[in-house]
A and B are shown apart, each in its own frame.
Chain A
Amino acid sequence: MARVTLQDVTKRYGDTVAVDRVSAEIADGEFVTLLGPSGCGKTTTLRMIAGLVELTSGHIRFDDQLMDNVPTHKRNIGLAFQSHALFPHMSVAKNIAFGLTNRRAPRAEVQAKVEEMLDMIEMTGMGDRMPSQLSGGQQQRVALARMLATDPRVLLFDEPLSALDRNLRDTLKYSILELQRRTKKTAIYVTHDQSEAFAISDRIMVMNQGRVEQAGTQLDIYLRPETEFVANFVGDNNTLQGTVRAIEPGTDGIREVVVDCSGMTVRAIAPADLAAGDAVSVFVRPEHIEVLPDGSREGQDGVLRGKIVQLVFEGPTLRMTIDADGVPLHVSVSGTERLALLDQANASVWVELRNPSVVKNPPAV
């Protein structure tokens, strides 16, 4: 159990920067996910924490102990790999015992721990099986038991579920969370799958091109993306271009930004760095666009008129494309009101954009 601190952690391969000055403080017992597309540097960051990749510059600390030059086998970590990485020539019991025998633990203690771990992963009595005789889910559970047997300070997960089928992924991700909660260990989890990240994390760090774009809770990331990348990578978003008209002290002391956008006015929580006249992108999620029953609210904030140009019924949701004065808006409707819209192709409707978020456009290069 340890606090993990990354300070300007950087990895360069020749001229390519894989990880670019990543800093983070992960609290003792916290479950943090590094989320990002492939090649964003999340796995390299994790491997540097594990000591499998050397840092080019920066520092990594467990509590106050500097880990930069501590070899992997002395870091006391547990790492779950994408492929379970069970030793194919050792039985399940020998795999679980491997870390303990490395520390020359007494035989009786090793045996007791192996039994305890097998009970924990609900595989009691299966210690004599070889890894090749297990199902994919069992293999990954043995891998988890193996990494927990040594009571590591930090748990690291490198996309441990990506090779499994969907049902198994769903079950196992909650097993992982449950194990982490029970052992109260600090966990760092790498994935490109946002639903996985949202399901299990205390906090998410979204990475792109070697940098952390945004770190925060699921709600922060989903409702208040701070960059265009985060807005588009996490879930779907409609992007509208606008100009800041004013910043107002809104209700509850939360500053609001008023944006002129596609012939209407949109209000959103104001990010810190905005000023009147700034060019901004306004993001609205398809599920946050509501189709209004009539035109009585026309002219109000976030309300505009458009024409349904495409309707796709996907079962639980209805996806529509609405053309609002040449701007295509993607809308998704769930709940029973979607059924009433089924025959509305080419109809003219009013929609309200809710929970928009605003990000300042980067200066043109």
Chain B
Amino acid sequence: MSETTAIGGPSRFRSSGRWLTSGLQHAYIWLWMALFVLPFLTTVYRSLEDPKGGYSFEGYRFAFGSFQDALILSLQTTIVTIVLNILISIPAAYAIVRYPIPGKRTILAALNVSLYTPGAVMGLSLSLLFAYRLSSIQGSFWALVAAYVVGTFPLMLIPVIVALRDLPTVFGEAARTLGAGRWRTLLRVEIPLLGPGITAGILLTFVIVFNEFLVTLFIAGKGNQTAALTIYNILARAGFAPSTAALASIMQFTSFVVVLLFFKVFGSRYLKGTYLG
């Protein structure tokens, strides 16, 4: 009997200590989670306010009605930018990884300059360039796309370079011994195996371009207001309205869904690593 108490005492103490530690750990994590989503939740909350009092989806109806063009423009520029980034980055990555180029590091550093350039500097430079030399596309859809590509193609290039470096050359060689020429080898074997890099690049480009604001502020024409720019313009001109919060929530939600889908579709297949499995 005395033995049981001797053992039981400290063990009960230990288990309550564990409960406390575990509780603190959970609280710590939840605290940060709450801080991260708080701004988003506030926006959603305010977007549900009805101007006539109470709560409704009026803001969303208005956002979809009058900001539709802005949302579509944001999506269009994002998709075109992603396609162009892929078309630029794959050949560039092959050149950098597979061929001996003198001054490779310098070139790579130069290619990444736009990543370290402050948005305002970038916006100013581009608006000067468009005004000075490229007035034909100034303020147009293609001016936006050109700016986004210049600003974000390193986000595609770097993951593709990493994926290509990790891709054993043996797959391409096997394809060639089986009678596949250069293009077939590239399209059927190597590009599918670069999937992890390309999809990572797509995700990064999407998140950045879809939500881009500062550069857009400098170069967007009158008829080319992206969603992010519209939010700013309305706030600056007319102050807060639930519909603005609704537009912001829609953008946030779109980005969230894209990231979620990315991990759902590609996560299991690609994040574990495709080859040598």
Contact = CB atoms under 8 A, between A and B. Distances in A.
Same complex for A and B? Answer yes
B178 A150 contact: yes
Interface in B149-207: 168, 170-171, 173-181, 184-185, 188-189, 192-193, 195
B178 A83 contact: no
Query: Which among B168, B175, B193, B195 has the highest number of chain A CB atoms within 10 Å?
Result: B175
A73 B174 contact: no
A349 B218 CA distance: 99
A89 interface: yes
A72 interface: yes
Contacts of A312: none
A78 to B, nearest CB: 7
Contacts of A99: 178-179
A102 B184 contact: yes
A157 to B, nearest CB: 12
B274 interface: yes
Nearest to A103: B179
A62 interface: no
A110 interface: no
Given A83-B168, A87-B189, A89-B192, A150 B179 contact: yes
Contact of B178 (A89, A102, A132): A102
A85 interface: yes
B168 A102 contact: no
B269 to A, nearest CB: 9
Contacts of A89: 192-193, 195, 274
Nearest to B188: A98
A88 B196 CA distance: 13
A305 B181 CA distance: 67
A81 B176 contact: no
A73 B173 contact: no
B277 interface: yes
Contacts of A88: 193, 274-277
Nearest to A102: B179
Interface in B190-241: 192-193, 195
Contact of B173 (A81, A98, A103, A150): A81
Interface in A289-335: none
Interface in A76-129: 76-79, 81, 83, 85, 87-89, 98-99, 102-103
B181 A73 contact: yes
B277 A85 contact: no
Contacts, number: 70
A72 B176 contact: yes
A146 interface: yes
B173 A85 contact: yes
Query: Which among A51, A73, A81, A146 has the highest number of chain B CB atoms within 10 Å?
Result: A73
Interface string A57-81: 0000000000000011111111101
A35 interface: no
Interface string A20-59: 0000000000000000000000000000001110000000
A197 interface: no
Contacts of A150: 178-179
B175 to A, nearest CB: 7
Contact of B179 (A50, A73, A132): A73
Nearest to B184: A102
Given A81-B173, A98-B175, A132 B180 contact: no
B174 A87 contact: yes
A31 to B, nearest CB: 19
A147 interface: yes
A42 to B, nearest CB: 17
A79 B192 CA distance: 22
Contact of B177 (A72, A83, A131, A132): A72
A150 B177 CA distance: 10
A50 B177 contact: yes
B171 A147 contact: no
Given A81-B170, A87-B171, A132 B277 contact: yes
Contacts of B189: 87
A311 B116 CA distance: 72
Contacts of B180: 73, 98, 102
Contact of A146 (B178, B181, B185, B277): B178
Nearest to A99: B178
Given A81-B173, A83-B168, A89-B192, A147 B178 contact: yes
Nearest to B274: A88
Contacts of A85: 168, 170-171, 173-174
Given A85-B170, A88-B274, A88-B277, A77 B177 contact: yes
Contact of B170 (A71, A72, A83, A103): A83
Interface of B: 168, 170-171, 173-181, 184-185, 188-189, 192-193, 195, 274-277
Interface of A: 50-52, 71-79, 81, 83, 85, 87-89, 98-99, 102-103, 131-132, 146-147, 150, 156
Given A71-B181, A72-B177, A88-B275, 5 more contacts: A50-B177, A72-B176, A73-B181, A79-B174, A85-B171
6 closest cross-chain pairs (CB), A and B: A99-B178, A132-B277, A102-B179, A85-B174, A72-B176, A79-B177
30 contacts: A50-B177, A52-B173, A52-B177, A73-B176, A73-B179, A73-B181, A74-B179, A77-B177, A79-B177, A81-B173, A81-B174, A83-B168, A83-B276, A85-B168, A85-B171, A85-B174, A87-B189, A87-B193, A88-B274, A88-B275, A88-B276, A88-B277, A89-B192, A89-B193, A89-B195, A89-B274, A99-B178, A102-B178, A131-B277, A150-B179
